Amino acid sequence: MEHNQKKFPIGHLYGFLLSLLLTFGAAIIALKTSLSFQTIMWIIGSLAVVQAALQLFMFMHVSEGEDKKAQLINIAYGVFTAVVIVVGSIWVMSFGNHIH
């Protein structure tokens, strides 16, 4: 066994627990508060971005490795793809029935 290897991945456990905390926090905010719909959606969206970043660093090991430029390009491409899918889906669901 190498000297720098750990027997138990405590970082993964912390990441998992933080992800659960963020998920339950979003659920509690959505179900148990009397905030406006827009405020709830902004809070849930913000928690989702934090959780995505947490998972990139804790589980996908983005900060590790030698080729930082390739990792940055891959993350940018992933964000671009997600934005295109979400915006495109909202656009089609909002304006798709005007053609018929």
CA atoms within 13 A on the CB side of 42: 5
**CB atoms < 10 A from the CB of 22, how many?**
19
pLDDT at 86 over 70: yes
Residue 35 has what pLDDT? Answer: 93
Distance between CA atoms of 41 and 43, rounded to whole angstroms?
5
DSSP-H helix ranges across 1-67: 10-32, 37-58
When pLDDT is averaged across residues 89-100 and rounded to a whole number, the result is 78
Model pLDDT for residues 39-63, shown as the tens digit of each residue: 999 999 999 999 988 988 888 777 7
CA atoms within 13 A on the CB side of 28: 6
When pLDDT is averaged across residues 74-100 and rounded to a whole number, the result is 86
Average pLDDT, the chain: 86
What's the one-letter identity of residue 16? F
Residue 60 has what pLDDT? Answer: 79
Residue 59 has what pLDDT? Answer: 81
Q: Tell me how far the alpha carbon of residue 57 is from its chain's centroid.
A: 11
